[in-house]
Structure 1
């Protein structure tokens, strides 16, 4: 039966949890490593898991799309970001009189406070809820837990949050899509992974100033981040796009999409160092989570696309700076199981943390609705802790599994998700050869509302979504064609995709004064935006020649793209040559060039941009 949570909301036991991250309690009020909290994205909840009984002991509704979760050093408080509701929520583990089972109550402790709490099961209590807006994602806490640092993906900012005053104290522009971040152990440096422009931004927390950026050439899909024990550098997985046509030879050489782990200095600017992860004919797909043992002898990485956990002996990894790394894993690693190993986990493993024993790793597995327990010494999966969910996959969830499965591509280098992050787009124009030509790069079109936005591809030459899906697997991924049932499942998943609530709209969907004026410009005969961008999906489903053709294009004209979620993009037009909306409407795709009308005034252009962000 459904259980009443501490926020008086019913959580359906058959609702998929889909955990994306987890955190283990440090020593403090409770014995270290006794409790895990998970952020469950599709149930909008957080779960409290006992590591001793391997059961869920509490679960509460948190907010829309919980994402990152971090414990404070005190061990009894933690914070979670809720991306779609734009919130940072602070919780406390509070003792209650419910006894633990025999295994838990007999756990040895080292203090009287721990003796007291070891005999009880805590419950999750909300302390405060702070509205941040703009899709908060990654979060880090200062050592004293007085301040939280949060990346706001939709506005390209990092904010400092005063957890005593429950308000934003400082803001800093860092770059597009600051999805993940971490803080040095001394709290002096903040590393921010900006996936929208492939870079690591390093911030001084005292002055709250950007110290320097470290670019990752061709970098996309930056994963979780972890700082070294001395705070001198930060480690992170990411993918790199090499701007080459998708051919069998290029894929096998690692010249299309490839996986890396990198490290960047936090104590001063220096060129990034990296290692290649991909094994010939058995590559690594969509690396995401990362953790390092406290003695820094072992590093582990989750690979969501290939459903596995990767093991690396950290001290002697061949990190290479300028001129490297190579396209494939170094042979010295590939054949040395003491230095590199991999085990299957199934599902979609994402967030990972290592317990204080430096032997046990806990992994949030999105598709399995579980926390997985791995022995890092034996290198095997020990247990799977069920968080709740349906006993059978819905058709849409089956499609989700296919969409995130890199093993469906040639030599398992990448998945649909590698390019269509969370159903949207990545940050680089790519040459998928979908139109039959080489070196005619196109930005990746988002998939929201795809059923209603035909024809398909930038040139609109495909009329059937089923055919488009099949061609993606056989041409873009150079894999096996999907069965009819698999295509049906992928369509169901695409139909289930939702755009996040637009943070540029008011609480009731109202427009700012500038955006309201911009709406008038949008629908005016002068700008004539609505001539092509109309209807619920803001497209007329037609092909137009607007003077942006490349001489190498096989087809003429372009499919009118939907403008829904425009604020989420970092590149515009088919080639991605426009990196700002200003350049789109005042230069490359300006009204006077498209329809021959007069040039927009500076005010009209500014107002139109504000309106476009609200679509």
Structure 2
């Protein structure tokens, strides 16, 4: 019966013309994030984040054929077979199944999954998919073997794995029956057994901002596009210029070492530096390897694609594309198709001659708001000296990379400080660790000129960036996303928070204050007064205090006895921690 309904649906879509033609495309922001091609390479499908739509491009004509409204906020797209597409809707927390062919598609199922889904990995052989959910810290397996007969339901979810970090990029290693899961903010890689979705090992690696994962053609190496922030370097012109402070890397690790719990993953680590002084390669993204072994790296921050040459696979030639490229695939004729997020376009790259030969517009754009212009600037590495970094490089997707950086946020060099999250930053002034920056506009100027060593931004650029920063909101706390909170224990912790006078510095409802305090902590150059960071979403932090010396929230009270005038009992400590992680 389901198969019959599907065939009737195809007939209706073919005869009624209910999708907008390309000539009738609405003026709006699409913001492509993912693309895939039909098996016969006649059609290219593009997932658009902001518009919640899928654009269908005629590969031969290189023109938009249709645009289908799916709804929500799309984060990824994959093809399952000739008649099914899968996409993720981050806004409604759903896996969306579409049925159809060519230019005719229809949403046939929506499956509620762990909140904030961000990436798909599809195993087409077994007909299943793996879904990484960002703020839920969850990986989900969905069985897709009977979708021709039944719509998706919760019975299709065969397993869920909760991990210790926010996942993003994933890579399926079918031969080993493993799934590699990389952290969005933390420098961690998890190896998951795909047979039972059990975690086998988690490895910590140097660096952050992992935006590309790929397996070498011989199946022996894992390639990772990432950045590395050096806490020993300073945000001076020299350290930025020479790539000492922040480097953009293509890292190669042994897959055997990564999968073995006792192996040192750094022992056979190889590093390729992307970019050079005078022409850096800020915010490297997805990685692709051609059948002949040619490496392709998306350089999102500088609006380029890097392609290794035929004589030396570690020597790259670069080609300019649209603004903020985020995904790429190969076409049947060997060209490279690149999705440009902020340009709402697809670039067609001649891989052999290393040049852009065509750019396909996904449709007309409406006028941008200040916040939307600010978002473009936030992810633009060209704001920095030589293009080494963007705001996103340290404040990943508006949050934090969890690293230490020695800049002038405390008014001095020599004492690197923890990079703070920008989620909710518009409400938590003053800014900088010493609390001496009174406006967010001034903090933006300081970051561009003093930390990134860029040229002075215009007042309009500053205003736009501030407008964007004010849109960055906090996600739901992890405890709410995973379990029903124990209100009794949380209330007991709330009472302790009051009794211990934690509210003196961390004043509700923002859990910070405008003053700076000496709370018995001293940095390596003698500074003792710090402005207290907000405790909202403190449960997501990976380290604590200005220099990250406390590695767990529990250590704050047990190892460092932070502002407690007595030793807390285990029951009291548990209640206080439950309360703090509920904020």
TM-score by length of 1: 0.81
Where does residue 11 of structure 2 map in the other structure? Answer: none
Cross-structure match for 1:453: 428
- Tell me what 2:507 maps to: 534
Which residue of 2 is the match for residue 16 of structure 1?
29
**What residue number does 1:144 align with?**
125
1:12-51 correspondence runs (5 A): 13-25=26-38, 27=39, 32-51=40-59
Q: Which moved more, 1:220-229 or 1:123-132?
A: 123-132
Q: Does 1:239 align with 2:227?
A: yes
CA–CA separation in structure 2 for the residues paired with 1:541 and 1:516: 31
Equivalent position of 2:556 in the other structure: 584
Answer whether contact 1:5 1:61 (CA < 8 A) is retained: no
The answer to which of 386-395 and 235-244 deviates more is 386-395
Sort the Cα spacing of 1:310 and 1:124 in 2 relative to 1 into closer, same or farther, 3 A. Answer: farther
Is the Cα contact below 8 Å between 2:294 and 2:313 reproduced in 1? no
- Separation in 1, partners of 2:449, 2:311: 40
Q: How does 1:103-502 map to 2 (within 5 A)?
A: 121-133=103-115, 135-163=116-144, 166=154, 167-172=156-161, 174-186=163-175, 188-217=177-206, 219-243=207-231, 244-269=233-258, 271-293=268-290, 295-313=291-309, 316-318=312-314, 333=315, 340-357=316-333, 359-388=334-363, 390-502=365-477
2:13 maps to: none
Higher deviation after alignment, 299-308 or 538-547:
538-547
Q: Do 1:23 and 1:36's aligned partners in 2 also have CA atoms closer than 8 Å?
A: yes
Partner secondary structure for residue 414 of structure 2? coil
1:61 aligns with 2:34: no
CA separation of 1:609 and 1:371: change in aligned 2, threshold 3 A: farther
**Secondary structure in 1 matching 2:211:** coil
2:98 maps to which of 88, 91, 97: 91
CA deviation map 1:241-286 (0-9, x unaligned): 1222222222233211111112333345453322111222111010
Measured after TM superposition, the shift of residue 390 of structure 1 is: 3.0
Distance 2:129 2:310 in 1: 29
- 1: distance between equivalents of 2:572 and 2:451? 40
Rounded to whole Å, the distance in 2 between the matches of 1:401 and 1:434 is 24
Structure 2 gap ranges (5+): 1-16, 146-152, 259-264
Q: Does the aligned pair in 1 maintain the 2:55–2:64 contact within 8 Å?
A: no
* Residue in structure 2 matched with residue 113 of structure 1 by the alignment: none
- Give the secondary structure class of the aligned counterpart of 1:594: coil
CA shift in 2, pair 1:196/1:397, >3 Å: closer
CA distance in 2, matches of 1:559, 1:486: 27
Give the direction of change, closer, same or farther, for the CA distance of 1:497–1:356 in structure 2 (3 Å limit): same
What 5-or-longer segments of structure 1 have no aligned partner?
96-119, 319-332, 334-339
- Deviation string for 1:434-477 (max 9, x for gaps)? 33322312111222332321111011011122221111111101
Q: Secondary structure at the match of 1:474?
A: helix
Structure 1 residues 452 and 470: CA distance shift in structure 2, 3 A = same
Distance in 2 between the 1:542 and 1:86 partners?
39
CA distance in 2, matches of 1:503, 1:80: 24
- Distance between the aligned counterparts of 2:325 and 2:542, measured in 1? 28
Q: Which whole-Å CA distance do the structure 2 matches of 1:573 and 1:127 have between them?
A: 46
SS of the residue corresponding to residue 556 of structure 2 reads helix
CA distance in 2, matches of 1:199, 1:513: 27
Change in 2 beyond 3 A, CA 1:122/1:506: same
User: Over residues 196-216 of structure 1, what are the superposed CA-to-partner deviations in whole Å (9 max), with x where a residue is unaligned?
Assistant: 432333333235444445543
Question: Which residue of structure 2 lines up, in the alignment, with residue 594 of structure 1?
Answer: 563
User: CA deviation digits over 1:7-56, x for unaligned, max 9?
Assistant: xxxx993432222222223x2xxxx2222333322234443333234205
Deviation at 1:484, TM superposition (A): 1.4
Aligned residues: 544
Structure 1 residue 480, shift from structure 2 partner: 0.9
**Is 1:559 equivalent to 2:547 in the alignment?**
no
1:296-330: CA deviations, max 9, x gaps? 33221111111111111378435xxxxxxxxxxxx
Contact 1:143 1:187 in 2 (8 A): no
Q: Which residue of 2 aligns with 1:82?
A: 89
Q: Report the TM-score, using the length of structure 2 for normalisation.
A: 0.85
Name the residue aligned to 1:115. Answer: none
Q: Which residue of 2 aligns with 1:98?
A: none
TM-superposed CA distance for 1:412, in Å, is: 1.5
Superposition deviation, residue 182 in structure 1? 1.2
Q: Distance in 1 between matches of 2:460 and 2:414?
A: 34
